[in-house]
Every structure is written in structure tokens, then in C-alpha cells.
Amino acid sequence: MCLIASDTFGISQERRCYVLRVRKCKYCWFDGETLESIGHQFGLDWLQIYMANPHIRTPDVLQPENKVINLGAVYQVRAGDYLTLLGQRFFMSEQQLRRLNPDIPESGAMRSGQRLCVMPPVCDVDCLYGTDCHVY
């Protein structure tokens, strides 16, 4: 991010650039928000968020000492990954992946090593022998 500041007459101007690093899969909630309202913003179920945050004592009331919560797990993109494949792997829609990862370009192109936030469902998944899974 670069900022340009100048005096009101435009005589002097200074430019400063900064690198902002945003931690993936983290959300700082605001007063009045609930797990349900946060889930709605990101296309998640409140139970998914609750299960990703073992420090939350009760899902009904968010405690001020836990201002930052997890929205999912961080996945590192591998060669050959693409949005549809990742959606199938983690039982997520492309829309859900994009909500959790607004840095994914419109084209959906991802680079190997890129970090994505993923949140597989905690309910509605049936697995046969732990490998053959589907959402019911």
C-alpha cells in the first residue's frame, strides 16, 4: 500500500509505501456479532466456526478476551490445484472459497505455495472407510 501526502498548494509531496501482511483464516469480531452472523458473512455454519475455535466456551456469547477467531484452516496450494478441485476436496463451493479468500483473482488462477483459508463442513459429511466422502 502506498500513500501520497502533499501540502494544499501541491508544492511538496511525499510518498510512503508499506507492506501489509494479513493472517489467513482469522477474523476480529465486532461488538454485537455472533457466530451465526459471522458465519453468514463467509457462507459458513456457526457450528463450523465454533468447532474451529476450542477456546470459545459457549457459542451463544463471544467473550471479549477472544476478539480474534479462526475461520478455518490454512491450506497451501500445490501444483495442479484449481478452485473446482479444492471445492470438491474440502466440500466447499467456489463462492465460499472466494469469500474466505478475497485475494483469489477473478480468473481463479492460483500459484503453487499460495495459502488459502478452507473450512470443510463439520456436519452433513458421510465417509465410507474414512476416504470415500460425500455431503448428504
Indicate whether 119 pLDDT > 80.
yes
Average pLDDT estimate for 14-30: 86
What's the one-letter identity of residue 56? I
Where are the chain's structural domains? 24-135
Any idea which of 22-26, 53-57, 118-122, 129-133 has the lowest mean pLDDT? 129-133
Indicate whether 132 pLDDT > 70.
no
Phi/psi for 102 (5° steps) reads -65, -10
Give the three-class secondary structure for 12. Answer: coil
Residues 6+ apart with CB under 8 A from 34: 46, 60, 62
Using CA atoms, how far apart are residues 55 and 1, in angstroms rounded to an integer? 34
Which CATH code fits 24-135? 3.10.350.10
Average pLDDT estimate for 99-108: 90
* Cβ pair 79, 112 in contact under 8 A: yes
Indicate whether 57 pLDDT > 90.
no
The confidence score (pLDDT) of residue 123 equals 66
Indicate whether 129 pLDDT > 70.
no
Using CA atoms, how far apart are residues 128 and 50, in angstroms rounded to an integer? 25
